[in-house]
Structure 1
Amino acid sequence: MKKIAFLGLGAMGSRMVGHLIAAGHDVQIWNRTTAATLAIDGASVAGTPREAANGADAVFVMVSDDLASRSVWKGADGALAGLRPGATAIEVTTASPEWIAELSAAVGVRGARLVDAPVVGSLPQAEAAQLVALVGGEDEAVNWATPLIKQYANTVFHAGASGRGCLMKLIANALLAAQVAGLAEALGFAAAQGISMDSAMDMIAGLPVASAAGIGMGRLMAAGDTTPRFTAALMAKDLRYAAVAAASSETPMPITDAVLKVYQSLVDAGQGSLNVTAPILRYRR
């Protein structure tokens, strides 16, 4: 049994932490809004990230972006202030490589080690402990953290050194966004030519060009379903992080740049809280 701090109890984090509790670990939780902590049974509640992290073997953080992560880790009441030497910090947030590099250095100053471990999957996979974790960090730290991560992720890929987990998550989400935006355009084109979106999607699903993720997203779009699961705003954030990382290595990313404009336009139009399938709204009449 490990002593674990889990900070951030949004839609994903609240489901993931339940698997760690069910496995018998001593879990202390914290969330920016206290209402979320009331829904978690079997864990103790801390008043600050520092209090939660104090004495923990592993500190998980699962929040929305770099800014939110920084606010949890840094400051007098931040988790870094409570991180003990020898502990493992596990950053599950889909963050930028730049922030992960800064966080890794700060964790090292505390005599601890960092594993970046964002996940692929949505609410059903989180509930069923069938997420995919993309992990970055030194071998020893990753090997230590993997049994904990496997409580909520049935597949763990070690992408390489610190920051590589988040980098691979950005790559994965850029690929997903391109598929969704492309499918929205294809379905809109079909509808404009007199083929219903449902019929077009049925045919696309039977073609070798279709992916499992694309089929799932395409069916949601054909049905006009933009109920938030993973929001357009979060996708825009991930595409921005990917674009910055690509620029640092002088890697041309014209498709990602174009898809970022699609998602940023949704955010600018006040539709960022809708699902990642929201590009279909341009084509539905």
Structure 2
Amino acid sequence: MDTVAFLGLGAMGSRMAQRLLGQGHTLKVWNRSPGPTEALAERGAVRAATPREAAAGADVVISIVSDDRAARSVWLDAEAGACAGLGPGALAVESSSVTPAWILELGGAVHAAGADLVDAQVTGSRPQAEAGQLIYMIGGEEAGFERAREILKPLGSAFYHIGPLSKGSIFKLAVNALFAAQLASVAELLGTLARSGIDERMAVETLTHFPTLSPAMAGNARLMVERRTSPLFTIDLMTKDLGYALEVARAAGAQAPIVEASHNVFEAARDKGFGGKNISALRLLYE
């Protein structure tokens, strides 16, 4: 069986790493703060002091952190970065929601170490991570995709090979932008309906009978009307992803007015102090 290193044990990473335990692999774990590594060590994981230490001797190295800056620190730090620990033939798996430009830069560093890289992006939140129901969008060579799918099987319910390296990242940002545009519309319209004298709860339950409201969006609409904003996926993270999506559009020479409008809405929510709250906090803009 493989030795797997897991870097980044936040809300998603900790749940994903837990599912990898008991699969027969040796699991090495690293996190910036030690608490999550201690919990996993009690179940049999091996704690590493740095990403480099975790990657040393690992067959597969998986990272899931918040953004480009955090990913750069994890992989390319001169002293402690995981790339310095990669061995020939290892597979690096970047599951952080990052820009395609960063993926390509990381690919150069990984290949220089004699290893391979896939950008294995995921959709889903904490419940899907706990249940192994994440959906993967993977960029990279076919062999890397197949190898990653085998290792990641306990974490996902579907795996799609989007294309060469960085295409998984581009596709993930498009998926999140589509989701964000719908969220922004639902929050705005619920505010209008409420101000027009229509009960929000009734409105949401009625809308579930129309094909225009998907089950996923209905769930978020219910969170909005119940003012439930405990973080699953935060305003801050979606704002970041929308900014990255706009970078992709500019790089492609594409127009993206809806993505830009959605970004403005999420920025407004962040500026109101809702950045650490769940995306359902968008409704609070229209009280």
What TM-score do you get using the length of structure 2 for normalisation?
0.97
1:23 aligned partner: 23
1:144 is displaced (CA, Å) by: 1.1
SS at 2:61's partner residue? Answer: strand
Q: Which amino acid aligns with 1:155?
A: A
1:162 is displaced (CA, Å) by: 0.5
CA contact (8 A) 1:136 1:163 kept: yes
2:226 aligned partner: 223
1:64 aligned partner: 66
SS at 2:242's partner residue? Answer: helix
Answer yes or no: is 1:7 the counterpart of 2:7.
yes
**Consecutive unaligned residues in structure 1, runs of 5 or more:** none
1:244-277 Cα shifts (integer Å, max 9, x gaps)? 0100111111011001011112222222101011
- Distance across 1 between alignment mates of 2:157 and 2:144: 19
Q: 1:153-192 counterparts in 2 under 5 A?
A: 153-192=156-195
Q: 1:122-161 counterparts in 2 under 5 A?
A: 122-161=125-164
CA contact (8 A) 1:116 1:136 kept: yes
Identity of aligned residues (%): 46
- Distance across 2 between alignment mates of 1:208 and 1:141: 38
Q: Which amino acid aligns with 1:76?
A: E
Q: 1:1-285 counterparts in 2 under 5 A?
A: 1-40=1-40, 41-74=43-76, 75-284=78-287
RMSD: 0.8
- Distance across 1 between alignment mates of 2:22 and 2:260: 42
1:205 is displaced (CA, Å) by: 1.0
- Distance across 2 between alignment mates of 1:249 and 1:131: 28
CA contact (8 A) 2:122 2:136 kept: yes
CA contact (8 A) 2:269 2:285 kept: no
**Consecutive unaligned residues in structure 2, runs of 5 or more:** none
- Distance across 2 between alignment mates of 1:269 and 1:85: 48
1:165-202 Cα shifts (integer Å, max 9, x gaps)? 11111011001101111000111111011001101111
- Distance across 2 between alignment mates of 1:202 and 1:195: 12
Q: Which amino acid aligns with 2:56?
A: N
Q: Which amino acid aligns with 1:209?
A: T
SS at 2:137's partner residue? Answer: strand
- Distance across 1 between alignment mates of 2:167 and 2:200: 38
SS at 1:187's partner residue? Answer: helix
Identify which range, 33-42 or 98-107, moves more after superposition: 33-42
1:49 is displaced (CA, Å) by: 0.5
Q: Which amino acid aligns with 1:174?
A: A
Q: Which amino acid aligns with 1:31?
A: N
- Distance across 1 between alignment mates of 2:128 and 2:285: 29
1:228 is displaced (CA, Å) by: 0.6
CA contact (8 A) 1:133 1:149 kept: no
SS at 2:62's partner residue? Answer: strand
Q: Which amino acid aligns with 2:7?
A: L
- Distance across 1 between alignment mates of 2:162 and 2:241: 18
- Distance across 2 between alignment mates of 1:210 and 1:276: 17
- Distance across 2 between alignment mates of 1:186 and 1:66: 33
1:203 is displaced (CA, Å) by: 1.2
- Distance across 1 between alignment mates of 2:72 and 2:13: 17
